[in-house]
Structure 1
């Protein structure tokens, strides 16, 4: 098994259906009260790549990509058009979009994250597949340039600062990102007749974890 650092064709992922999935375990007590818990620290996203198909040319593109990944065997990048940026919807990304750490005077390595919600209930999502060329960084609001100021691993989302920031400095970042996924099926069934009749195959895609 391997992960291919290649993005699923964006003209096909646009219009696809999907989003985050959580797993909640619910136990109903004799009193009628519930106890709820989850074994998952992070959501897992699912999509249907079939809903993005609009022509037989799209189908050929999909099959070529599917064969190159050998079905479920190899992972790949997926652009979630509803959630692909550090910035709020409709806003330009900036180096201060997301707080990714607070300097402790000893650490230069930080990982990209995205915050959902506010307060104690806020969820911090690990971002492991940033898009090359989109990542900007700031320390205490002062922008850094990739190369002289920091290095980025686009396969893990890890950032290493060139200079050690002073203790208490806020590290922020702006970026676009992909979701690491794989096909959740080893079979695609399609015919020219059904496609021209407006029917599209269901092609499930599921997020993979590092």
Structure 2
């Protein structure tokens, strides 16, 4: 994946105006008696967006073309900020070190994967976070925030503690994160008129599952 990923973010001022969100794949079979059988094909959701809705002027068009060409279209993945879901907490609140539980101490384990949990009491969904934003990750042990006693791999979302936490110690974290994504097209259909006003109606972007 490393050779096919550029650690650079799609222009956030443009992604802010996009449309899209999580997609799942479920096969629904209608039975003869009118009932249904439903089977989940994907264990994880996959986010899709259309960045065309965020293009507002000729400078945005130029920025998109520049970014697209350097990525070689669909070839190379990049960071994408999903403005509807980019924090370990709701988007309108501040990140804290106790937002998400990422593990429980054993006395030996020192490396923990950042995750974000969705849902309540029925069927929780745990999403692996692989692209945390540098400088945003906070970690706590039993609710006490750590200062500098940990490191973060911003390419994988792995947190390494300086000392393995003791048995049953709750490890939590707070963070901002990006989505690993790529263009889902190899062509941009650009529209520019005589007044240098224009748009790119369709710029599909799809999450890359790792």
TM-score, normalising length from structure 2?
Answer: 0.94
Q: Is the 8 A contact 2:56 2:199 kept in 1?
A: no
- In structure 2, distance between residues paired with 1:197 and 1:152: 43
Question: Relative to 1, partners in 2 of residues 1:45 and 1:208: Cα closer, same or farther, differing over 3 Å?
Answer: same
Pairing partner for 1:118 from 100, 117, 120: 120
Q: Which residue of 1 aligns with 2:205?
A: 205
- Counterpart position of 2:183: 183
Tell me which residue corresponds to 1:47. 49
Partners in 2 of 1:181 and 1:92 — Cα distance?
25
Taking a change above 3 Å as real, the CA distance of residues 165 and 58 of structure 1, as seen in their structure-2 partners, is: same
Equivalent runs, 1:160-175 vs 2, <5 Å:
160-175=160-175
Give ranges in structure 1 of 5+ residues lacking alignment.
none
Number of residue pairs aligned between Structure 1 and Structure 2: 208
Q: What's the CA shift string for 1:144-189, capped at 9, x where partnerless?
A: 124xx11110001011111011111110000000000000000001
The answer to whether the 8 A contact 2:52-2:199 is kept is no
TM-fit CA distance, 1:49: 1.0
Q: CA deviation at 1:88?
A: 2.1
The structure-2 alpha-carbon separation of the partners of 1:189 and 1:177, relative to structure 1 and needing over 3 Å to count, comes to same
Map 1:1-210 → 2, pairs under 5 A = 2-146=4-148, 149-193=149-193, 200-210=200-210
Moved over 3 A (4+): 194-200
Residues 1:157 and 1:163: Cα distance change in structure 2 (over 3 Å): same
Bigger Cα displacement from structure 2, 65-74 vs 99-108: 99-108
3-state DSSP class of the match of 1:119?
coil
Q: 1:139 to 1:208 in 2, by over 3 A?
A: same
Cα-to-partner distance string for 1:92-124 (whole Å, 9 max, x where unaligned): 110001111111222111100111111241111
Q: Which segment drifts farther, 152-161 or 82-91?
A: 82-91
In 1: Cα distance, 2:199 partner to 2:51 partner: 13
State the TM-score, normalized to the length of structure 1.
0.94
